[in-house]
Amino acid sequence: MILEDNDERIRAFESAVASLGSDFLLRLWRDAPTMIAECGDCMGEACLISLDHDLAPLPGSSADPGTGLEVAEFLSTHQPRCPVILHTSNHERRWSMHNEFRFAGWSVEIIPPFGDDWIQGSWLPRARGLIGV
């Protein structure tokens, strides 16, 4: 389960998840309210959650996309289901999200989006380790 709004990153996450094999399905949301409304349907099958914080509205949309912190606050009210990766460059909010999960007993890690190939080079190896692939 991934919260991300950047098209280039989305393509990289799609490629990364595809490389894990056919047993893994990517569920991706571009805004917090939709993820919060829909993620309950797939929480039982989730093996990893990865969240960005700062989200931009879709072109032509005036709807507020919310933030990753809103998703973290929502998920932290639920029993821990799987590991969480925070992949936001927003340093202050990254720690706010981290604390929401940590105080609720979730396993949470930070993979900052540094460099051009950070999803393949940093995120994917850590995701593999967390889900045991």
Question: 0.85 cut: is pTM over it?
Answer: yes
pLDDT tens sequence across 36-64: 999 988 899 999 999 999 999 888 887 89
* Average pLDDT across the chain, whole number: 95
What torsion do the CA atoms of 7, 123, 102, 44 make, to the nearest 10 degrees? 70
Range 117-130 average pLDDT: 97
- 51 sits in the region (left: phi over 0; alpha: psi -120 to 50; else beta) called beta
Tell me the residue type at 43.
Answer: M
Structure tokens at 102: 């940590």
Q: What is the pLDDT of residue 61?
A: 80
Name the class of domain 2-128.
Answer: alpha beta
What is the percent of the chain with per-residue pLDDT over 70, rounded to a whole number?
100
Beta carbons of 123 and 87 less than 8 angstroms apart:
yes
Q: Give ∠ CA 5-6-9 in degrees, rounded to 5.
A: 120
Beta carbons of 41 and 77 less than 8 angstroms apart:
no
